[in-house]
A and B are shown apart, each in its own frame.
Chain A
Amino acid sequence: MPERRVSPVAVSQTSTLVTKTGSWKYIRPLYQDRVAPCNAGCPVGIDIEGYMSLLREGRWDEARDLLLLENPLPATTGRVCHHPCETSCNRRQFDEPVSIHAVERMLGDYALEHPPSLTRAAERSEEVGIVGSGPAGLACAYHLARLGYGVTVFDAAPEPGGMLRLGIPEYRLPRRLLDGEIERIRALGVSFQCGVRIGQDVPWRSFLGLFDAVFVSTGAHLGKDLGLQKENVAGVRAGLAFLKAVNRGERPELGRRVVVVGGGNTAIDCARTAMRLGAETVVLYRRTSAEMPAIPDEIEEAEREGVQLVFLAAPVAFHAEDGRLRAVECVRMRLGDADASGRRRPIPVPDDRFTIEVDTVLSAIGENADLAGLPPELAVQESGVAADALGTTSRAGVFAGGDVTNAARTVADALGAGKRAAVGIDRYLRRLSDDGPNGTGLPALRFGNGNISMARWRDADPVHRINALNELVEFDDLNTSHFRRVRRRRDDRLSLAESRGGFAEVNLGLDHEDAVSEALRCFNCGVCNHCDLCLIFCPDVAISRRANGGGYDIALEYCKGCGVCAEECPRGALTLTREGL
């Protein structure tokens, strides 16, 4: 049959390639990786989204290496960190946050079982001395070593680890894990000099002269007094000193009833430890559970184990007989207006008092830094050493970080401060300006407004980024219709009897399969993980896969700016901008 002029079906006679629909658009898609809120919310500055993405693809070793690029102690933080990453997780607004701590813990344990060979920058001649081997000092030492420096860490205690070893009970952090993680740092060439108190055993003046730079991270070990009479009576003890004694292997005599005063992690640690030593334990806190600064999971565990929590109460007097504590008299409190910290101020209800018979009181209302033992001529602000974001102090070549400064007193904040100080020391020793090695300014090193990224500072990000934009992805930027609701896995726990009966680790984390399932719950906020939805939805077939899994190309001469790709992108890696901007 002769070919007709009209096609039997409605099909264009010419290729549609001649129709450059791109000329129609007044908005265009921006294909840019942005920053997940977990990364920005992590005080350590971990690329959480990045390792979740690698785990999704089963790339375990790379996930481990990415985690270790930013955090020297993941098996530790996976257990003891208060995980603000989960607070900022966008998934919280969808169902429940990803159990990031459990995934980190699994990867941290994996790193101990499958040790990586850690990359180091070219060796440098400068030597750095670090005073204090807590998380801040360990982080600073670790990152400096990986940047190529010679590092020596000093500590007054017989073993390194600072508060991780001295203060945190074994049932929260088994020591073999801490030892393993410190061993990994030692293997980088960091040397440890323990049992040496700088400023006492070695004068600061001569010590400072031995090193090209010094990092001070001596922590805060002086327990605050309750400010009550008879505080020196037998039976009233500082909580931190009690924890240190137990962690040294001592088993102090507490009597039958113990009252712990305070609401932070030290208080809860004291209570749970005292209970393990056989005492009936009560925690007195002057505010309510909502204001309690301790990690909620720890409070819950304490209650489960039988610790009694008494809120809105404070001790006002100790009653002693024969020089020995017999009872503590308390006053009821009520909550007034918010104070400077944003928490409501507790106000005593004058005539509402009660008395608790008690054998031991453990005070855990906070610790101060020992400013007397610091190098001379170091400026102090409030109750800590004055230091900027990179740890720079008033004295050239002396840096500080961790609890000895006015930073938030958490393990994660200390690790983050140590990392920033390592960058500060690197800049100082290499006489760099605010610009990083690749010309990016310091803000560009941060995950959004969060901590800085070592990957960026070293210009060695192992993750392929697409036109990375240092902008946070919020929940409203996501298209959650592409996600299913999946329950968050709960950590396994030791049985109550086993928990109370000793110091075995209580939180058993997640089994392997569940931890991987949690990694798969990650939205990968802001980072393209090649889900193909943009390609599938583009009505102009203007989006195509790049070779080698490198993301997508958008043919702008055909993209007519409909915005469907950005609308469908589940994770905010595609956004729209006005044409010509």
Chain B
Amino acid sequence: MKKVIIGNHAVSWGARLARAEVISAYPITPQTQVVEELSEMCADGRLDARFLKVESEHSAMAACIGASATGARAFTATSSHGLALMHEMLHWAAGGRHPIVMANINRALGPGWNIWTDQTDSLSQRDTGWVQLYCETNQEVLDTTIMAFRLAETVDLPVMIVLDAFYLSHTAEPVDIPDQDAVDAFLPRRQARFKLDVSDPHAFGALVRPDSYMEMRLQLQEAMERTRDVFDRVEVEWQQRFGRRYGAVEAYRADDAELLLVTSGTITSTARFVVDRRRERNEAVGLVKVKMFRPFPVERLRALLGGARQVAVLDRNLSPGRGGIFSEETRAALYDLPEETRPAIHGYVVGLGGRDVTPTVLDEIIDRTRASAVPEREDVWVGVNP
């Protein structure tokens, strides 16, 4: 069934088709419609899930952890300050290896108080042990939400689906909504590896001493490393069933490109438009879209970016005191490439707090990069008013 729906409802549809069993969430702009729709689905019986109203995002995640610990499929959604408030519980979810799926609508953190898109909220949760998958279209949002459960429950890690405020959350576009039966075949009921069970009681979350903690962390790290391959397998199966695939990293007209843009989220779409125009003029410009941020797809990026002359990484986020987070990660991933294949990496900070990233902005980045023999020491801010 094809419908024109907003990105937030694509999230709701994903959680519904995945048959989430417990949904606990607290409303925040621009996420509100996600849970509004889900609560209606629960109320009118379209979704057989327990919907828990809670007093904060911290509680929402705590409730998801509790639900997940009993073996239930748990889902939540949040944004910005709500995600920040969850921070402690995000560690608990990952450390407890709870396969919770959460949608985060990228929104700037205040002050200045701002409800528009910015990736700093999700990227601030980089070290919590959550898988992070960024989306470009509403179709990708829906597909990724369902795949996220399969991925999470395979590697026993929580997964965050990330989408841009307004550019996806409030934008309606056609989405192919799969049949429930087909989704059920792709995503069977969760089989929890560890779960609370009163008939076989165990103690969970007890003190872990220095003699065991590192081994547990090592397994978390190994699960993250395994996630790259598992995600590929999940996507292949999704493609077989539904005909669509996104890739942890996607190359767009990247063959023989001298300059590769590295993007994430909705900037990617506009960048495709600009790349198309440049290619029409026979300029060797291509694009690499990063969908998976954690685990970071290091080998994939080395393979795709290695050999290009220049790479321009676009960051709609900021680690104050350093710069764009994707550019930083990309530089680290490519650092030990042989000099002859290692591209010059130019970092650009754009579109913070929802500032529009137009073809003009992208053209400026391309032109500026091509004109620079060596990258600036610090990331360059584009589209800033004087």
Could you tell me which residues of chain B, from 167 to 209, have a CB within 8 Å of some CB in chain A?
A: 194, 198, 200-208
B212 lies within 8 A of chain A by Cβ: yes
| Chain A residues near B194 (CB-CB < 8 A) | 7, 9, 11
Q: State whether the Cβ of B269 lies closer than 8 Å to any Cβ in chain A.
A: no
Task: Give chain A interface residues in 1-60, CB to chain B under 8 Å.
Answer: 4-12, 14-17
Segment of B3-11, B21-29, B215-223 engaged in the interface with chain A: B215-223
Verify A4–B215 contact, CB threshold 8 A: yes
A12 to B201, CA, bound (A): 9
Chain A residues engaging chain B, CB cutoff 8 angstroms = 4-12, 14-17, 541
For the complex, give the distance between the alpha carbons of A421 and B206 in Å: 64
Closest chain-A Cβ to B315's Cβ sits at a distance in Å of: 33
Residues of B within 8 A of A9 (CB): 95-97, 194, 204, 216
Contacts of A4 in B (CB 8 A): 215, 219
A16 with B203: in contact, given A6-B212, A6-B215 (CB under 8 Å)?
A: yes
| Cβ-defined contact, B96 with A12, below 8 A | no
Q: Are B97 and A15 in contact, CB atoms less than 8 angstroms apart?
A: no
How far is it, in angstroms, between the C-alpha of A8 and the C-alpha of B219 when the chains are bound? 6
Q: Tell me if B202 and A11 are in contact (CB < 8 A).
A: yes
Q: Report the separation of the CA atoms of residues A9 and B215 in the bound assembly, to the nearest whole angstrom.
A: 10
Contacts known (A8-B97, A9-B97); A15 close to B202, Cβ less than 8 A: yes
Task: Tell me which residues across on chain A come within 8 A of B220, comparing CB atoms.
Answer: 8
B153 interface contact, C-beta 8 A: no
Closest to A5 in B: B215
Distance from A209 Cβ to chain B, minimum over Cβ atoms (Å): 71
A contact patch SS = loop
Closest 7 CB pairs of A and B: A6-B215, A12-B203, A8-B219, A16-B201, A12-B202, A6-B212, A9-B97
Distance in angstroms from B94 CB to nearest chain A CB is 10
Q: Let me know if A10 and B204 touch, CB within 8 A.
A: yes
Bound-state CA distance A541–B70 (Å) is: 14
Please give 12 more A-B residue pairs, beta carbons under 8 A apart, in addition to A4-B215, A8-B219. A6-B212, A6-B219, A7-B216, A8-B223, A9-B96, A9-B194, A11-B202, A11-B203, A12-B204, A14-B202, A15-B202, A541-B198
Interface residues of B in 73-125 (CB under 8 A from A): 95-97
B156 at interface, CB cutoff 8 A: yes
Question: Is A10 in contact with B206, judged by CB distance below 8 angstroms?
Answer: yes
Give the distance in Å from the alpha carbon of A14 to the alpha carbon of B205 in the complex.
Answer: 14
Partner of B96, one of A10, A14, A541: A10
Residues of B contacting A6 in the complex (Cβ-Cβ under 8 angstroms): 212, 215-216, 219
Task: State the Cβ distance, B128 to closest chain A Cβ, in Å.
Answer: 16
Cα–Cα distance between A4 and B212 once the two chains are bound (Å): 11
Most buried by B among A6, A9, A15, A17: A9
Most A Cβ at <10 Å: residue of B156, B201, B220: B201
B237 CB to closest chain A CB, in angstroms? Answer: 21
The interface residues of chain B lying within 8 Å CB-to-CB of A12 are 202-204, 206
CB–CB B201/A15 < 8 A? yes
What are 20 A-B contacts defined by CB distance under 8 Å? Answer: A5-B215, A6-B219, A7-B194, A8-B97, A8-B216, A8-B219, A8-B220, A9-B97, A9-B216, A10-B205, A10-B207, A11-B202, A11-B203, A12-B202, A12-B203, A15-B200, A16-B201, A16-B202, A17-B201, A541-B198
Could you say which residues of chain A place their CB within 8 Å of the CB of B198? 541
CA distance A16 to B223 in the complex (A): 27
Q: A4-B215, A4-B219 are in contact. Are A10 and B202 (CB under 8 A)?
A: no
Which chain B residue shows the least CB distance to A19?
A: B203
Residue of B nearest to A17 (CB): B201
Taken together as a complex, chains A and B put the C-alpha atoms of A14 and B200 apart, in Å, by: 9
A541's partner among B156, B201, B206 (CB-CB below 8 A) is B201
> How many Cβ-Cβ contacts under 8 Å join chain A to chain B?
47
- Closest chain-A Cβ to B152's Cβ sits at a distance in Å of 14
Q: How far is the CB of B196 from chain A (nearest CB, A)?
A: 9
Q: How far is the CB of A479 from chain B (nearest CB, A)?
A: 20
Question: Closest approach, in angstroms, between the C-beta of B182 and any C-beta of chain A?
Answer: 31
Q: For the complex, what is the distance from the CA of A8 to the CA of B98, rounded to whole Å?
A: 11
In the complex, the chain A residue whose C-beta lies closest to that of B223 is: A8
CA distance A170 to B114 in the complex (A): 72
* In the bound complex, CA of A541 to CA of B200 (Å): 12
User: Complex: how many Å from CA A10 to CA B96?
Assistant: 7
Q: What is the chain A residue whose CB lies nearest that of B211?
A: A6
With the chains together, A14 CA to B201 CA distance in Å? 9
B-chain residues with CB within 8 Å of residue A8 when the two chains form the complex: 97, 156, 216, 219-220, 223
- The closest CB in chain B to the CB of A18 belongs to B201
The distance in angstroms between the C-alpha atoms of A194 and B219, with both chains bound, is: 94
Which among B97, B203, B215 has the highest number of chain A CB atoms within 10 Å? B203
Within 8 A of A (CB), among B251-309: none
Complex formed: what's the CA distance from A10 to B95 in Å?
Answer: 9
Which residues does chain A contribute within 8 Å of B200, judged by CB atoms? 15
Kindly state the separation between the CA atoms of A109 and B205 in the bound complex, as whole angstroms. 58
A6, A10, A12 interface centre (most CB from chain B within 10 Å)? A10
CB proximity of B86 to chain A, nearest CB, Å: 20
Contacts A4-B215, A4-B219 given; does A10 touch B201 at CB 8 Å:
no
Instruction: Mark each residue of chain B from 230 to 243: 1 if its CB lies under 8 Å from any CB of chain A, else 0.
Output: 00000000000000
The residue that B208 contacts in the complex, of A10, A14, A15, with Cβ under 8 A, is: A10
Chain B residues contacting A5 (CB-CB under 8 Å) are 215
By a CB distance below 8 angstroms, the chain A residues around B205 are: 10
In the bound assembly, the distance between CA atoms of A8 and B198 in angstroms comes to: 21
Looking at A5, A8, A11, A12, the one whose CB has the most chain B CB atoms below 10 A away is: A8
Q: How many Å from the CB of B190 to the closest CB on chain A?
A: 16
B198 closest partner in A (C-beta): A541
Please give, as numbers and ranges, the residues of chain A lying within 8 Å of B202 by CB-CB distance: 11-12, 14-16
Contacts of B206 in A (CB 8 A): 10, 12
CA of A16 to CA of B194, assembled, Å: 15
CA distance A17 to B200 in the complex (A): 8
- In the assembled complex, which residues on chain A have CB atoms less than 8 Å from the CB atom of B156? 8
Q: Give chain A residues whose Cβ lies under 8 Å from the Cβ of B97.
A: 8-9
Most buried by B among A5, A11, A14, A16: A11
CB of B3, distance to nearest CB on chain A (Å): 40
- A1 — nearest CB in chain B belongs to which residue? B222
CA gap between A559 and B220 in the complex, in Å: 35
CB of A2, distance to nearest CB on chain B (Å) = 12
Measured CB to CB, the nearest residue on chain A to B204 is: A11
Residue of A nearest to B203 (CB): A12
User: Please, which residues of chain B bring their CB within 8 A of the CB of A16?
Assistant: 201-203
Q: What's the minimum C-beta distance from A419 to chain B, rounded to whole angstroms? A: 47
The distance from the CB of A461 to the nearest CB of chain B, in whole angstroms, is 33
- B213: shortest Cβ distance to chain A, in Å? 9
Closest to A544 in B: B198
Interchain nearest-CB distance for B207 vs A (Å): 8
Tell me how far the C-beta of B224 lies from the nearest C-beta in chain A, rounded to whole angstroms: 12
Q: Which residues of B contact A541 (CB under 8 A)?
A: 198, 201
Complex interface: chain B residues within 8 A of A17 (CB): 201
